[in-house]
């Protein structure tokens, strides 16, 4: 055999060996990849899911911005019942972001074994089962004082509207009645009025500050007396209402405050008395409020919230001494942007296991 033939034979044998070894190594690697669990080295870790309930108005306004930063689950995009949607994603949901009108019930909480955080887009958290959250060790946070100034402005605006009959005057002009009937009925001034505030938190204090500057006489009731506040404090609603003609409600809705403003309170307020509610509708016994207003047993009301939203008591529509707004006290462009920043900051903090802002005391 020639040297060239031997050389070619050796090359062929070597090449076959190399191909065989390469195939064997490939098979080993393939088998390892099938048997080994996925690790962060070969696949990105799963991003924690945040369930959105509502959705909150701020989410609608900034949905594209939110979606670039977080992994949101949006039940309204799927044609299945909410509970079925939640069951489908139960193992991945770490947090809930909810609106003020979307209940976070014990059933929802129990359906989410990995849930660790509930963030409300509102200041009030009466729609969240706090007892179940506490039992599970789930942290709850709210919007804090994000809306305080805007809601205080709404409270003052409603009060001025009722006293000065601004909305009624607008209808009087636009309907042509002014041209036909002449002078508009007399209204009432704001300064000098005795105003009782129910709940002197950040919103209540902002209301008090504004009305004091307008010449009103302020007093308040709250869960506790505020040590650095100089306004007169009354420990009960009945003591407060006996010393004022205007009642502004800015407290939280709890079992203790539900229907706290009832017929008895309204009758003490009297025929010149005015109620303004920018807190939660169920703090007032709405049925008894309607009855007192229709009968003229109180002087008027400015209502931004209702007991069964979005249902409005239509009996109040014809009354010129009643001003109604669609739970819009906190809704300004500026507040919405501030809330977006607040939500982003809190969700980033939660995902990074850092301290949260505006945690709710449970």
Task: Report, as residue numbers or ranges, the catalytic residues.
Answer: 280, 309, 327
The percent helix, strand, coil of the chain (3-state, each to 5) is 45, 15, 40
Cα–Cα distance, 320 to 186 (Å, whole number): 13
Contact status, residue 306 vs residue 281, Cβ threshold 8 Å: yes
Contact status, residue 137 vs residue 117, Cβ threshold 8 Å: no
| DSSP three-state, residue 107 | helix
Instruction: Residue 264: count other Cβ atoms within 10 Å of its Cβ.
Output: 13
Report the b/e string of 324-347 with b at 16+ CB within 10 A.
bbebebbbbeebbebbbebbeebb
Residue 209, Ramachandran bin (φ over 0: left; ψ between -120 and 50: alpha; else beta):
alpha
Q: Name beta bridge partners: 248.
A: 197, 276
Instruction: Residue 300: count other Cβ atoms within 10 Å of its Cβ.
Output: 25
Cα–Cα distance, 287 to 310 (Å, whole number): 16
* Residue linked to tokens 């869960």: 223
Closest-CA residue to 205 (of 217, 187, 220): 220
- Which tokens go with 277? 């509610």
- How far the first Cα of the chain sits from its last, in Å, is 94
Cα–Cα distance, 126 to 111 (Å, whole number): 20
Instruction: Residue 240: count other Cβ atoms within 10 Å of its Cβ.
Output: 22
The long-range contacts involving 31-38, CB below 8 angstroms and separated by at least 24 positions, are none
């Amino acid at each position: 055999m020639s040297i060239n033939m031997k050389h070619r034979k050796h090359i062929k044998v070597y090449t076959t060996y190399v191909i065989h070894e390469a195939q064997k190594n490939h098979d080993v690697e393939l088998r390892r990849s099938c048997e080994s669990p996925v690790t962060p080295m070969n696949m990105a870790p799963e991003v924690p899911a945040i369930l959105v309930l509502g959705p909150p108005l701020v989410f609608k306004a900034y949905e594209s911005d939110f979606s670039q930063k977080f992994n949101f689950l949006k039940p309204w995009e799927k044609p299945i019942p909410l509970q079925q949607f939640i069951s489908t994603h139960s193992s991945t949901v770490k947090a809930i972001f909810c609106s003020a009108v979307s209940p976070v019930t014990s059933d929802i909480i129990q359906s989410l074994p990995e849930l660790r955080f509930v963030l409300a887009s509102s200041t009030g958290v009466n729609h969240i089962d706090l007892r179940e959250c506490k039992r599970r060790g789930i942290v709850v946070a709210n919007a804090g004082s994000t809306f305080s100034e805007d809601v205080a402005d709404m409270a003052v605006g409603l009060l001025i509207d009722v006293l000065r009959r601004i909305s009624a005057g607008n209808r009087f002009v636009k309907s042509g009645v002014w041209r036909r009937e002449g002078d508009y009925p007399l209204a009432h001034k704001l300064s000098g009025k005795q105003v009782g505030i129910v709940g002197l938190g950040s919103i209540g204090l902002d209301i008090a500050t504004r009305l004091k500057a307008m010449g009103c006489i302020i007093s308040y009731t709250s869960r506790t007396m505020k040590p650095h506040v100089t306004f007169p404090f009354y420990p009960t609603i009945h003591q407060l209402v006996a010393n004022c003609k205007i009642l502004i409600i800015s407290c939280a809705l709890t079992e203790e405050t539900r229907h706290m403003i009832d017929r008895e309170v309204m009758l003490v307020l009297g025929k010149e008395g005015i109620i303004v509610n920018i807190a939660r509708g169920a703090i007032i016994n709405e049925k008894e409020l309607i009855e007192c207003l229709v009968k003229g047993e109180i002087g008027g009301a400015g209502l931004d919230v209702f007991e069964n939203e979005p249902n409005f008591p239509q009996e109040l529509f014809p009354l010129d001494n009643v001003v109604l707004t669609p739970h819009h006290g906190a809704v300004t462009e500026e507040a919405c942007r501030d809330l977006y920043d607040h939500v982003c900051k809190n969700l980033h903090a939660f995902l990074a296991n850092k301290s949260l802002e505006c945690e709710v005391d449970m």
